[in-house]
Amino acid sequence: MFNEWYRTAEDIKKEFEKYGEFENLKNKLTEDGIIFEGECNGLITSQLIEHGSNALGKLFLNGEDNHYISYTDKHLGWNYYLYDDEILSSKDAYNKAEKFFQEYLE
């Protein structure tokens, strides 16, 4: 069985702390309201975005309802992002993702 560290809050925290990226992840989600595949030295993966939203919610939303939404589409080169719908609208999140993934769109 392979390591599915992206499924639990504890394992996500351990993995990001191991590489010194936990505070970076925290700031991206709690301040910017969005994370993109490939950030944090590659620790933000499509698997984390697809399967880790509940675990991320446990880490950063203090037991509140999870309002993290993961998204990808063909136009973005199938690149993933996850955003907090309490901080960003879906349109704002998409525009930020489009800008972030611009190199894949050219």
Is the pLDDT confidence value at 4 over 50? yes
Q: What is the mean pLDDT of residues 98-104?
A: 86
pLDDT at 21: 98
Do 3 and 10 touch, CB atoms closer than 8 A? no
* Overall pTM > 0.85: yes
95 three-class SS: helix
* Residue pair 97/34 in contact by the 8 Å Cβ criterion: yes
For residue range 10-34, what is the model confidence (pLDDT) as tens digits?
999 999 999 999 999 999 999 999 9
Half-sphere exposure of 103 (CA within 13 A, CB side): 2
Lowest mean pLDDT among 22-26, 32-36, 71-75, 81-85: 71-75
Q: How far is residue 103's CA from residue 106's CA, in Å, rounded to a whole number?
A: 6
